[in-house]
A = this chain, B = another copy of it.
């Protein structure tokens, strides 16, 4: 951890106005905190502040990112439920707009990014309980057992708190 790092570099978007640029910056910071790549923040940010849906090519041109990034970023945002695909008649491109229901965004993030880690953590703790029981020294075995159980309790609290979070943030 760099001892309290300050605001990161802003990237300049020649074809974007100041509002768009600054909104995107907010989302870039946001997704970084969530451990998602910058390009996802840029894409979601631009869609969020665009009055009309945008196509993949628009993202590539206006954000100055590669087609590959745009494609992968859109896929990730779709599986997060953060982006909606829009049909526009008379065009065979796909257009996208940002989902703006906080409930849906939070739900998607929890489902895709948080829950899997809690599940896998819980599985590991289950196994650890077995391993801890094999410790020879009784005092040490006792200690290990207590700590592993505590770890399991923490994960349980995590699983318990997620639905509450979604409820509190709902609409």
Contacts and interface: CB of A to CB of B under 8 A. Distances in A.
Interface of A: 1, 3-4, 7, 18-19, 22-23, 25-26, 29-30, 32-37, 40, 48-49, 51, 72-73, 75-76, 100, 102, 112-114, 116-117, 120-121, 124-125, 127-128, 131-132, 135, 139-140, 143-144, 147-148, 150-151, 154, 157, 160-161, 164-165, 168-169
A29 B144 contact: no
A5 B157 CA distance: 25
A157 B128 contact: no
Contact of A29 (B23, B100, B120, B135): B120
Contact of A19 (B23, B102, B144): B144
Contacts of A117: 29-30, 33
Given A114-B33, A168-B164, A147 B72 contact: no
Main secondary structure of the interface of A (DSSP, over half): helix
A93 to B, nearest CB: 22
A157 B161 CA distance: 16
Contacts of A48: 147, 151
27 contacts: A1-B36, A1-B37, A1-B72, A4-B116, A19-B128, A19-B131, A19-B132, A19-B144, A22-B124, A23-B147, A23-B148, A23-B151, A26-B124, A26-B125, A30-B117, A30-B121, A33-B35, A34-B35, A48-B147, A49-B144, A49-B147, A100-B147, A100-B150, A102-B154, A102-B157, A161-B165, A164-B168
